[in-house]
Chain A
Amino acid sequence: MKKIRFAQPVIIFLAAFAIISCSRSQATSVPDAKPETVAAQPSERPTVSETVRFLEERVKRDPEDFIANNKLAAEYLQRLRETGDITYLNLASRAANASLGTLPAEQNKGGLIALIQVEFSSHDFASARDHALRLIELESNKGYPYQFLGDSLLELGQYTEAETAFRNMEKFGGIQKIAQVATEQRLARLALLHGDNSGATRHFSAALKIASAIVEPPKETVAWCQWQLGETAFAGGDYKSAEKYYRDSLATFPDYFRSLASLARVRAAQQDLPGAIEQYERAVRILPDPNFVAALGDLYKIAGRGDQADNQYALVEQIGHLSALSGALYNRQLALFYADHDMKPDEAYTNAAKEYETRQDIYGADAVAWTALKAGKIAEAQNAIKDALKLGTKDAKIYYHAGMIAKAAGDRPQATRLLKTALSINPVFDPLQAENAKKALLELA
């Protein structure tokens, strides 16, 4: 029997960082300083490390080496965060299952941790939550199991329980810097959800500061913090700061797909349509995420390039089609895409409502509300949007959806108030939808 070892907390925290779901965004218009700087940067994917090859060789020689499998899973998950390539999620899943197939979770916490992260990344939040609870039973006096639990609960919309979990994470987290970074990130996330954007900025800044002070700072973690700071600035309409953070992020981690796409969005908000298109094209070349593709389609449409817009919209549908074959990774994105573009209203509503049955977070409620409106179900939309606004999240898109629902329900004062709120939070939260909001306001006037 091999000697059982427990995975080091550092690896765990590193691996767990960026599994927080992407934040939403908002905006003001600031001139573009040097848009070409990023676009002209050399593009090269980070290659698979020697460590990965070494570990792969180990498990090939000895498939029962569960420690090597656990480490491999952590490496693959890191690559997934860096590249967005789902291949690494599948590989991590194989490694985690191989590890737990060799030794059960009770004696193999590293395997359980890998499995939780795979489930989280696959959007199987309920399983991730259940396994996090199992991990807490095994490691009740450590901080990181609560982190996994809190992250899953947050995605499932169980906010009170998530806050409790994060408090426990803080309580048991210890003094390690990487643990502190993880805690600050969670506190920032909670602040955002509760509409405290400046609090979120404070926590993200603290996380960035601590991460940068680590000897050999984990690049992707630093880049993620910078990107999140950009997202928070964008959400408040501070495009200049947002752009700075995105550029910092790309300087830390070149070709970081999240920041590439966000930079494109901020360009669009700054009315730099050609620059935004160029930047999105680049982002889509690197990772055809349906959100990026749909946004590019919208910009083509605004630019009068209808055919190209249609091609991008068709691509979004194909990605959704493929995604549905292997899981439900893009269900929500696809439902929102349909609603935004007045396509397949019933299908979009059905999918959003189905997902909301098991995942009742505010963004799920928002998706139900928006798709319900497009499907002509005003009452359902009104109910759902209340849930979406319940935490007081300062998200222009939710207020925009709420305003449009109120307008459809004939509540003109409420509609006007909500739409104005949306545009005051972030005037160009979305190139197409912000214009629709303005048009709606004119109609209401």
Chain B
Amino acid sequence: MNRKSLSLTILAVLSFAFSTAAHPLGNFSMNQYSRLEVGKSQIKLREVLDMAEIPTFQESVAIDTDRDGKLSQAELNAYASSLTPQYLANLRLTVNGEAVPVKPISSSASLGVGAGDLSTLRIVWDLIAELPSIGEKTLVKFQNNNYTERVGWNEVVIAGIEGVNIFDTSSYGNGVTDELKNYPQEAITAPLAERSAEFSLTTTAIPGNAKPLQNRDGRASTPVQQDKFAQLIAVRELTPAIALFSLLLAFGFGAMHAMSPGHGKTVVGAYLVGSKGTIKHAIFLGLTVTVTHTLGVFAIGLITLFASNYILPERIMPFLTFVSGLLVFFIGASLFKNRLFAALGWTKNAPRHHDHDDGHEHTHDESTHTHGGSTHTHLPPEKVTWRSLLGLGISGGLLPCPSALVLMLSAISLGRIGYGLILTVVFSFGLAATLTTVGLIFLYAGRVFVGTAFAQSRLFKVLPVLSAFVIASVGAVICYSSLG
């Protein structure tokens, strides 16, 4: 696969856009969406062209180059690529009155099923325009002159990244159709006719009398958060110092990313509460997360690149989520059963009597006791099984983080596969480090209470049972949410 077609495929997947609904607008319509994401040094543009049934049929003559009556993905990609120069030529972008060239990064094309089983065609372009240095007030004008004579829905959205303030514009900060994927169905609303945008931007505070960029509901538009990790791969020059610094950053990003919701912190914590885990177990857990996450990123990346015609990545994600949830549920349910039985004294040998190496003996009719000068606990369950740890680690790393996926795909596109892989592995280590640390904190937290009055309390005794219940519940919730 050459780099160009690779880029096309990447875009097709990253946009996760595949409309299969019948076209709500007229069958003649040619619909367009433009999104300008304004940064300090560049404007990223996303252009979406959604052709309804009739224009798609009209264009199919040009697309179906092998005249077999079918539109293959290769033909669609070739068509999108051939359309790109003409489409871009009709986009006008000026900064302070000076025309700024808009360059293509990637394009993709996909078919949807419209009315009467006819196809609709969707083309997505990701474009970029380099900005000259931004002053206190920089005026940007954008105009889409494509298909001006055709009827259709035309939508323009402006967004600023953090640190860039946009003001004095009649455009909005959010869209209506989710990039032409969901048109208003029964609303009494004429198609939007937004083909142009004009706005000012600054990296300092906006002037007092200026009107900041708003969403369509009148609320202030929130700036776009940049995916800093995915940007690591795109550095222009890769020196050893930059590479080393990037690796450190990747580790940090991974560690921080694990702090965001998800990733099994609760599950790891709940599992290790009251268990007799060791550092060895924690490291094993971390390694499992790292390996699973790295493999997951690779697997999804490869599917994205080579098999997206057969398996849509957006369909894999819910499946992986379900599997992850199921793993967590079974671990939780199994733990819950064991811990509950143990707490109730229903274990096969309870109450049991055994000798310790130090020669003392006692019966396990109480949870905590002191002997040989030290206090220890025999709270059930005592054992951390490798199998459970493996399951836990897999569930924590199974779902690839979008940032890592974007980075990996970008790495392949840029021909920096090795570097991308290293960054992903280090990112995964960072992710695992957080989870392991959380596990260890929970592990040792239980021991801190030993000998305290809290340790004697009924709550302390049932905590492991409750935590197992939490694990099972979390698993069930994950499974349920993946179905929605």
Query: A-side interface residues toward B, CB under 8 Å?
Result: 43-45, 47-48, 52-53, 56, 59-60, 69, 72, 76, 79, 83, 85-88, 91, 94-95, 98, 255, 282, 285-288, 311, 314-315, 318-319, 321-322, 325-326
Considering residues B26, B58, B186, which has the most beta carbons from chain A within 10 angstroms of its beta carbon? B26
Q: Which residue on B lies nearest to A79, using beta carbons?
A: B190
Contact indicator B118/A318 (Cβ below 8 Å)? yes
**Chain A neighbourhood of B149, CB < 8 A:** 43-45, 255, 282, 285-286
Known: A285-B149, A311-B61. A87 touches B118 (CB 8 A): no
Q: Which of B44-66 contact A (CB under 8 A)?
A: 53-55, 57-58, 61
Contact indicator B148/A44 (Cβ below 8 Å)? yes
Q: Contact size class for B?
A: 20 to 34
Contact indicator A94/B186 (Cβ below 8 Å)? yes
Contact indicator A76/B186 (Cβ below 8 Å)? no
- Check B191 for interface membership: any CB of A closer than 8 A: yes
A288 to B29, CA, bound (A): 10
- Check B316 for interface membership: any CB of A closer than 8 A: no
**Chain B neighbourhood of A56, CB < 8 A:** 188-190
**Chain B neighbourhood of A287, CB < 8 A:** 28, 151
**Chain A neighbourhood of B26, CB < 8 A:** 85-87
Contact indicator B58/A288 (Cβ below 8 Å)? yes
A321 to B27, CA, bound (A): 11
**Chain A neighbourhood of B54, CB < 8 A:** 288, 315, 318-319, 322
**Chain A neighbourhood of B189, CB < 8 A:** 56, 60, 91
Contact indicator A87/B151 (Cβ below 8 Å)? yes
Q: Which of B94-109 contact A (CB under 8 A)?
A: none
Minimal beta-carbon separation of A342 from chain B (angstroms): 23
A7 to B223, CA, bound (A): 46
Minimal beta-carbon separation of A15 from chain B (angstroms): 16
**Chain B neighbourhood of A43, CB < 8 A:** 148-149
- Check B210 for interface membership: any CB of A closer than 8 A: no
Mark each residue of chain B from 265 to 291: 1 if its CB lies under 8 Å from any CB of chain A, else 0: 000000000000000000000000000
A9 to B148, CA, bound (A): 34
A53 to B150, CA, bound (A): 20
Contact indicator A48/B191 (Cβ below 8 Å)? yes
Other than A87-B25, A95-B188, give 6 A-B pairs with Cβ distance below 8 A. A43-B149, A56-B188, A318-B57, A319-B54, A321-B116, A322-B53
Q: Which residue on A lies nearest to B151, using beta carbons?
A: A85
A43 to B61, CA, bound (A): 24
- Check B176 for interface membership: any CB of A closer than 8 A: no
Mark each residue of chain B from 314 to 327: 1 if its CB lies under 8 Å from any CB of chain A, else 0: 00000000000000
Query: B-side interface residues toward A, CB under 8 Å?
Result: 25-29, 53-55, 57-58, 61, 115-116, 118, 148-151, 186-191, 193
**Chain B neighbourhood of A52, CB < 8 A:** 190
Kindly identify which residue among A88, A288, A311 contacts B190, using a CB–CB cutoff of 8 Å: A88
Kindly identify which residue among A44, A85, A94, A282 contacts B28, using a CB–CB cutoff of 8 Å: A85
Contact indicator B188/A69 (Cβ below 8 Å)? yes
A197 to B23, CA, bound (A): 43
A372 to B54, CA, bound (A): 30
Summarize A's interface: helix, strand, loop or mixed. helix
Minimal beta-carbon separation of B115 from chain A (angstroms): 6
A83 to B29, CA, bound (A): 12
Considering residues A48, A52, A322, which has the most beta carbons from chain B within 10 angstroms of its beta carbon? A322
A43 to B186, CA, bound (A): 30
Known: A43-B148, A87-B151, A322-B115. A76 touches B28 (CB 8 A): no
A318 to B54, CA, bound (A): 8
**Chain B neighbourhood of A59, CB < 8 A:** 188
Shortest Cβ-Cβ A-B pairs, 10 listed: A85-B151, A43-B149, A87-B26, A47-B193, A48-B190, A86-B26, A286-B149, A322-B27, A44-B148, A48-B193
Known: A44-B148, A322-B118. A91 touches B58 (CB 8 A): no
Contact indicator B29/A87 (Cβ below 8 Å)? yes
**Chain A neighbourhood of B186, CB < 8 A:** 94
The 14 sampled A-B contact pairs (Cβ below 8 Å) are A45-B149, A48-B191, A59-B188, A76-B190, A88-B190, A91-B190, A94-B186, A285-B150, A288-B28, A315-B58, A318-B57, A318-B116, A322-B115, A326-B115
A285 to B55, CA, bound (A): 9
A48 to B189, CA, bound (A): 10
**Chain A neighbourhood of B58, CB < 8 A:** 288, 315
Contact indicator B191/A87 (Cβ below 8 Å)? yes
Contact indicator A45/B151 (Cβ below 8 Å)? yes
A48 to B192, CA, bound (A): 8
Q: Which residue on A lies nearest to B22, using beta carbons?
A: A325
A83 to B25, CA, bound (A): 14
**Chain A neighbourhood of B115, CB < 8 A:** 322, 325-326
Considering residues B29, B116, B151, B186, which has the most beta carbons from chain A within 10 angstroms of its beta carbon? B151
Contact indicator A85/B27 (Cβ below 8 Å)? no
A98 to B188, CA, bound (A): 9
**Chain A neighbourhood of B150, CB < 8 A:** 45, 285-286
**Chain B neighbourhood of A87, CB < 8 A:** 25-26, 29, 151, 190-191
**Chain A neighbourhood of B188, CB < 8 A:** 56, 59-60, 69, 72, 91, 94-95, 98
**Chain B neighbourhood of A98, CB < 8 A:** 188
Q: Which residue on A lies nearest to B56, using beta carbons?
A: A318
Minimal beta-carbon separation of B135 from chain A (angstroms): 32
A324 to B178, CA, bound (A): 30
**Chain B neighbourhood of A326, CB < 8 A:** 115
A69 to B188, CA, bound (A): 9
Minimal beta-carbon separation of A368 from chain B (angstroms): 26
A45 to B55, CA, bound (A): 17
Q: Which residue on B lies nearest to A287, using beta carbons?
A: B28
**Chain B neighbourhood of A319, CB < 8 A:** 27, 54
Minimal beta-carbon separation of B55 from chain A (angstroms): 8
Minimal beta-carbon separation of A261 from chain B (angstroms): 14
